[in-house]
Amino acid sequence: MTTTSAPQPLRRVVIAGGGTAGWMVAAGLAKCLGRQLDIRLVESEEIGTVGVGEATIPTLHFMHEILDLDEKEFIQATQATFKLGINFENWRDVGENYFHSFGKTGKGHWTAGFQHFWLEGRRRGLASDYGDYCLELRAGLDNRFALLPDNGINYAYHFDATLYGQYLRRFSEALGVQRLEGRIVKVHTAEGSGDIVAIALDNGALVEGELFIDCTGMRSLLLGETLGVPYESWSHWLPCDSALAVQTESVGEPVPYTRSIAHPWGWQWRIPLQHRVGNGLVYSSSHIGDDEARAALLANVQGEVLRQPRVIKFKPGQREVVWKKNVVAIGLSSGFLEPLESTSIHLIQRGLTRLIELFPSDGIRQSDVDEYNAQAREQIEVIRDFIILHYHVTHRSDSPFWRGCRDMDVPPLLRHRIQHFRDTARIALRQGELFAENSWVQVMMGQGIPPASHHPITRNMDDRTLADFLGGIRKDVARTLMKLPRHQQFIQQFCPAPCIDPSARPATPPALRINPAATISTVQLADGSSVHVVDDFALEPEALVALADARAAQFQQPAGHPYPGPQLALPHGIVGVLGGYFDQHLRARLGAGQTQGLSGRFSRVTQEAATLNPLQRVCHRDDSAVGPGEMIAACVHYLFQDEQLGGTVLFRSRMSDADTQQFLRDAGTLDASAFGEKYEIAPGYMTESNRYFEVIGRLPARWNRAVFYDGGIFHSGDIRWAAHRAAYLAGLGRLTINAFFKSRRP
């Protein structure tokens, strides 16, 4: 009898790459499946993101409903504006424009869409412009917007993609996603199966997993480079292969639509945000050089240029499969379609939701893989055809680029749809397609296809009835439009984002690079517990000190905080590196389970000994915020040369558990005088044993030494204030990094 092994349960998910794709995947998985999974995301501060996509389509609302995001908070965090559609300029021909709106146009019948009734009205001289029957189109061109009851207006957003990634990162980390800082330098695969088992980082960390999500961008490091999945090029249908992106200052009110402006060799986008405008060119390098394209872009923007354009090279297409073995590619790693219809973020979202629908929690099965790949291919090919439609159906003949697009052979389904609409005004859609009938109609007619006929049911209406039908729709649109405020006015009343200097370039903090040659030594304490010491911990500790010194004015001592000196939150990148090192090297040693959250800060000791409150004059634990089944592990990294400023002292209580708890309660509630009288503990730093606690270990300070310990062990800084007061107060004094790793207990 032949037996086959059953698929193994899947719990550890590794997301390779951050940006919009990585953090959307992290947020979605954490929200829907986070309690069942250990989710880690690897990204490097050194690697930038493409970041040209700042316009979205209305399907993003579904993603935000899944995450239960607050719309106002999201808009303010991302400097977003509202989007009602896209204005296509010079696409049908030079000087001719049309608007692809998100809304419904008119009212259709089960036998025929509204375009059939409109065409009959035009034939009889009873219908005005097609756009008069669509609220979103008229509101967009009139620069008006408001949220309406019962989803009365269909809209999307323009936002800052970098800020969106940061927003989702904060959301994800709050749900327990662990970010690991580092560049991927090697991918390990299993012999025999070929599955990926781990990725190695440049800081020495090895990140193991059972399912890997490839969000490494166009490089497609896992699916393409490692698993060798070929790339299918669609350049013969989509000739543009380059893009330039640039940001400019706002020079007027933001309009509630994206501008897409065709040129002889490609097209230009203009996307207004609250704090700036995103601009760019998508072009064919066979028809214009990079330098000429850059000059053309800069000649066609408004407002001061904030950052110089950068060239992005791409090849339109798709990986032959987007899920192979235990790797799923989402975002640019799976394929690329230019942002003409703002579908990039939608494809990330759909890849994520499809993965959640087919998630292999009980092990990867080939039937799930095949279904995922089939759905992904069908979806992107239909979106591809919709984009090809804009290029192919055109009256432009002013350049070799447009003549080539007009004369090319197109995919069979698209060819059929164009001819079907040209003959009958009908759009026959497959179930689940992204773009609805009205989108196809607007682009077909906007690009210049006049249908030869339309459905005969429209001829059942006499002139009076048809005129009343069309006129009623047009009047409803006009009445609603008059009530809408200006787009900018609505933003200012509902969701104004904080004012920021659009020309300010955020400083990139130096990444903490951990010494891969550093060794971990274990120190046994008198009670049998252990702490772990890493000497020569960071490769460039001076950079960390320089960072703290540059931000010295930002240090603050929060009111009521027990730490006896000012603090400054660590940059996310440094926290992520510490978290990655802890996860790979210390978590098991300290008996910690899955990490649920990370935090870290620079700290200094500056408080006079005589002014210490009760909590500050006794040893403490770091476990005040943990619940049942949880623990805190901690790290202190010494960043001062004068070892006399003191390391860390560890204690155990001499009291019963009940008396210890009462002691801690009193330290937190009694004033200094009452506490001192009750326990006869004078103001000062605790460095030695007393009647309540005894020293079980002492770790001397050393430049660039890191100490990791269970936060449930009583401890205190070994602060000799009287002997070294001047040194504590000079410069950065006793500068340390303190990090905390909240975990589930195994």
Nearest C-alpha neighbor of 239 from the set 270, 280, 279, 267: 267
According to the model, what pLDDT value does residue 623 have?
A: 72
Beta bridge mates, 328:
213, 323
> How far apart (Å, rounded) are the C-alpha atoms in residues 425 and 721?
86
According to the model, what pLDDT value does residue 254 have?
A: 95
Handedness of CA 72, 77, 82, 83 (dihedral sign): negative
> How far apart (Å, rounded) are the C-alpha atoms in residues 136 and 154?
7
| 261 alpha carbon, distance to own chain's centre | 28
Residue 207 has pLDDT above 90, yes or no: yes
Mark whether 83 is an active-site residue.
yes
Beta bridge mates, 709:
634
Cβ 12 vs Cβ 158: under 8 Å:
no
According to the model, what pLDDT value does residue 628 have?
A: 78
| 520-744 CATH fold | Jelly Rolls (2.60.120)
According to the model, what pLDDT value does residue 577 have?
A: 84
Catalytic residue among 31, 83, 313, 324: 83
Residue 362 has pLDDT above 60, yes or no: yes
Percent of all residues in the chain with a pLDDT value above 70, rounded to a whole number: 95
Query: Distances in Å between the alpha carbon of 549 and those of 223, 643, 732?
Result: 43, 19, 7
> How far apart (Å, rounded) are the C-alpha atoms in residues 440 and 341?
12
Tokens at residue 71, please? Answer: 């719309």
SS3 55: strand
> How far apart (Å, rounded) are the C-alpha atoms in residues 7 and 5?
7
Q: Average model confidence (pLDDT) for the chain?
A: 92
According to the model, what pLDDT value does residue 522 have?
A: 95
- For 134-165, how does the pLDDT look when each residue is reduced to its tens digit (9 = 90+)? 999 999 999 999 999 998 999 999 999 989 99
**Residue 510 — pLDDT band, cuts 50, 70, 90?**
low
Cβ 305 vs Cβ 16: under 8 Å:
no
- For 409-448, how does the pLDDT look when each residue is reduced to its tens digit (9 = 90+)? 999 999 999 999 999 999 999 888 999 999 999 999 999 9
Nearest C-alpha neighbor of 343 from the set 390, 386, 290: 386
For 689-729, give the DSSP string: --SSEEEEEEE---TT-EEEEETTSEEEE---HHHHHHHHH
Residue 52 has pLDDT above 60, yes or no: no
**Residue 625 — pLDDT band, cuts 50, 70, 90?**
low
For 38-52, give the DSSP string: EEEEEE-TTS-----
| Residue type, position 162, single letter | T
According to the model, what pLDDT value does residue 506 have?
A: 45
- For 60-105, how does the pLDDT look when each residue is reduced to its tens digit (9 = 90+)? 999 999 999 999 999 999 999 999 999 999 999 999 999 999 989 9
Residue 188 falls in which region: left (phi positive, over 0), alpha (psi -120 to 50) or beta: beta
| Residue type, position 160, single letter | D
- For 456-470, how does the pLDDT look when each residue is reduced to its tens digit (9 = 90+)? 999 999 999 999 999
SS3 71: helix
According to the model, what pLDDT value does residue 2 have?
A: 37
- For 269-308, how does the pLDDT look when each residue is reduced to its tens digit (9 = 90+)? 999 999 999 999 999 999 999 999 999 999 999 888 887 7
Domain ranges of the chain: 520-744
> How far apart (Å, rounded) are the C-alpha atoms in residues 719 and 362?
53
According to the model, what pLDDT value does residue 46 have?
A: 56
